[in-house]
């Protein structure tokens, strides 16, 4: 019996031939094989528990091994899925022809490239401080660790003790600061940053955008006898001189401001070279002189607090927060030759308004124009009917003992009042 001959269908034979031809073509195709150390783009094909399969356009798939996945954050690992484009670093080709690649290494090298670009472009960036050591502080930069030396910390105490320096650095941990990259050495794994360089540029940019007359808002960061320091942003401080804090007389800034207060102020002067900014809070507050003539009129009795004393008169802070002058010629009935020997700052006295010039912000006051009966009634209201009519009367009596009966007390000419008033105001407002 003749052996049975199996006949293969034409379609099957043709399909096998096509597959064979495709395999031969694939083997014969000259792929650009990735080289060790290259960073190439790939497409995630499959995510497994212990590896990720990536198509990198080669004959063989690339494999991201388990140990490399362990170097990735949970956030990155969970975000990877089929179809995602990723960058991988070529490690080597394994025995079966597959490529071994690393995602974490690619990310790290990208960070080095970014650091180099930042250094070349002299850019300012924000980094988080994560630790401190003897030489400085450590900062995060992608998958790298940057180092900010003590000498490059903008606010580190330079002459304080080691303990204070370490405390200042420890306070920075967890905070975000602005820095510039000043050294990149991948071979030595050195990434050095500078806060002082960044702060300098930030200040320069801020000063360039400030103009005299501009109203700013800032935080009170310091109080001194002569004024208040205000942080107007990025560590740039301006000074509100004590004479510009308020319309009323201020003995010390702490009377009206506290550390941490938000204040508005106008920029009066900018010194770019010395990095000094003079601020004025007074002008952004309601001006009591705008309606002074509605609040008080010539002839009004008013009590005031002595804010300063000069040879030619007494300056009183009035209830509205404005200052008036009692010229020495308006206290002649008390035989006062030198107000400095009679009046004391902080004392309260009763006077009469004798002139108002709202345009020039001048109020003339008089002791002589107060009647004794008015003075007595005022003292009763204050609860001291038996007190001496005027503070300093004892000193005045001592002076009277030295004056002969026929002597007369000379007073300064009334005409000098205006000039002396202007001089005193100028002195008080001088910074």
Architecture of domain 289-429: Beta Barrel (2.40)
* Contact between 88 and 107 (Cβ < 8 Å): no
Whether domain 211-284 has CATH 3.50.50.60: the reply is no
d(CA 405, CA 55) in angstroms, rounded, equals 117
- Rounded to an integer, the average pLDDT of 315-344 is 87
Q: Do the domains spanning 39-107 and 122-201 agree at the CATH topology level?
A: yes
Which residue reads 């995060």 in tokens?
140
Q: Domain spanning 122-201: which CATH class is it, in words?
A: mainly beta
Q: Inform me whether the pLDDT recorded for 13 exceeds 80.
A: no
Under CATH, what is the fold of the domain 39-107?
Answer: OB fold (Dihydrolipoamide Acetyltransferase, E2P) (2.40.50)
Q: Inform me whether the pLDDT recorded for 241 exceeds 90.
A: yes
By mean pLDDT, which of 57-71, 149-163, 293-307, 414-428 is the weakest?
A: 414-428
Q: What separation in angstroms does the CA of 346 have from each of 241, 250, 353?
A: 21, 11, 20
Binning pLDDT at 50, 70 and 90, where does residue 18 land? low
Q: Inform me whether the pLDDT recorded for 205 exceeds 90.
A: no
Give the model's pLDDT for residue 393.
43
Where are the chain's structural domains?
Answer: 39-107, 122-201, 211-284, 289-429
Binning pLDDT at 50, 70 and 90, where does residue 4 land? low
- Rounded to an integer, the average pLDDT of 214-222 is 93
- Of residues 59 and 241, more confidently modeled: 241
- Rounded to an integer, the average pLDDT of 292-319 is 87
By mean pLDDT, which of 24-33, 46-55, 80-89, 97-106 is the weakest?
A: 24-33
d(CA 350, CA 366) in angstroms, rounded, equals 9
Q: What is the pTM of this model?
A: 0.55
- Rounded to an integer, the average pLDDT of 70-92 is 84
By mean pLDDT, which of 243-247, 339-343, 367-371, 410-414 is the weakest?
A: 410-414
CB atoms within 10 A of CB 24: 10
Q: Inform me whether the pLDDT recorded for 360 exceeds 90.
A: no
d(CA 52, CA 304) in angstroms, rounded, equals 84
Q: Inform me whether the pLDDT recorded for 323 exceeds 70.
A: yes
- Rounded to an integer, the average pLDDT of 98-113 is 87
pLDDT in tens, 382-404: 876 554 445 444 444 444 444 44
- Of the chain, the percentage scoring pLDDT greater than 90 comes to 32
- Rounded to an integer, the average pLDDT of 207-226 is 92
Average pLDDT, the chain: 80
pLDDT in tens, 117-160: 999 999 999 999 999 999 999 999 988 999 999 999 988 777 66
Give the model's pLDDT for residue 391.
45
Binning pLDDT at 50, 70 and 90, where does residue 281 land? very high
């Amino acid at each position: 019996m003749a052996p049975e001959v199996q006949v293969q269908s034409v379609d099957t034979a043709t399909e096998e031939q096509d597959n064979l031809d495709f395999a031969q073509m694939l083997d014969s195709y000259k792929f650009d094989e990735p080289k060790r150390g290259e960073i190439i783009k790939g497409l995630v094909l499959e995510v497994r528990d212990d590896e990720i399969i990536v198509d990198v356009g080669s004959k063989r798939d690339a494999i991201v091994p388990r140990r490399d996945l362990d170097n990735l954050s949970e956030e990155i690992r969970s975000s990877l899925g089929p179809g995602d484009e990723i960058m991988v670093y070529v490690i080597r080709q394994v025995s079966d022809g597959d490529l071994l690649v690393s995602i974490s290494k690619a990310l790290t090298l990208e960070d080095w490239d970014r650091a180099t670009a930042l250094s070349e472009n002299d850019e300012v960036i924000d980094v988080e401080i994560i630790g401190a050591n003897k030489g400085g502080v450590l900062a995060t930069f992608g998958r790298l660790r940057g180092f900010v030396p003590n000498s490059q910390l903008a606010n580190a105490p330079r002459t304080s003790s080691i303990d204070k320096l370490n405390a200042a650095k420890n306070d920075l941990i967890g905070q975000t600061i602005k820095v510039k990259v000043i050294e990149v050495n991948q071979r030595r794994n050195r990434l050095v940053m500078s806060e002082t360089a960044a702060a300098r540029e930030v200040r320069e940019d801020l000063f360039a955008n400030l103009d005299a007359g501009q109203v700013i808002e800032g935080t009170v960061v310091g109080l001194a006898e002569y004024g208040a320091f205000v942080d107007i942003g990025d560590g740039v401080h301006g000074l509100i001189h004590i004479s510009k804090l308020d319309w009323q007389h201020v003995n010390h800034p702490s009377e009206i401001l506290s550390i941490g207060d938000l204040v508005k102020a106008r920029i009066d002067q900018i010194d770019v070279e010395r990095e000094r900014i003079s601020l004025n809070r007074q002008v952004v507050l309601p001006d009591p002189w705008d309606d002074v003539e509605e609040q008080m009129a010539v002839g009004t009795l008013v009590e005031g607090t002595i804010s300063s004393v000069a040879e030619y008169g007494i300056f009183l802070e009035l209830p509205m927060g404005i200052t008036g002058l009692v010229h020495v010629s308006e206290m002649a009935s008390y035989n006062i030759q030198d107000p400095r020997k009679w009046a004391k700052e902080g004392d309260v006295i009763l006077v009469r308004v004798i002139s108002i010039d709202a345009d020039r912000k001048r109020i003339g006051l008089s002791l002589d124009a107060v009647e004794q009966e008015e003075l007595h009634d005022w003292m009763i209201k204050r609860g001291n009917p038996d007190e001496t009519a005027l503070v300093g009367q004892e000193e005045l009596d001592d002076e009277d003992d030295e004056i002969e009966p026929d002597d007369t007390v000379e007073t300064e000419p009334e005409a000098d009042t205006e000039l002396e008033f202007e001089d005193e105001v100028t002195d008080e407002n001088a910074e």
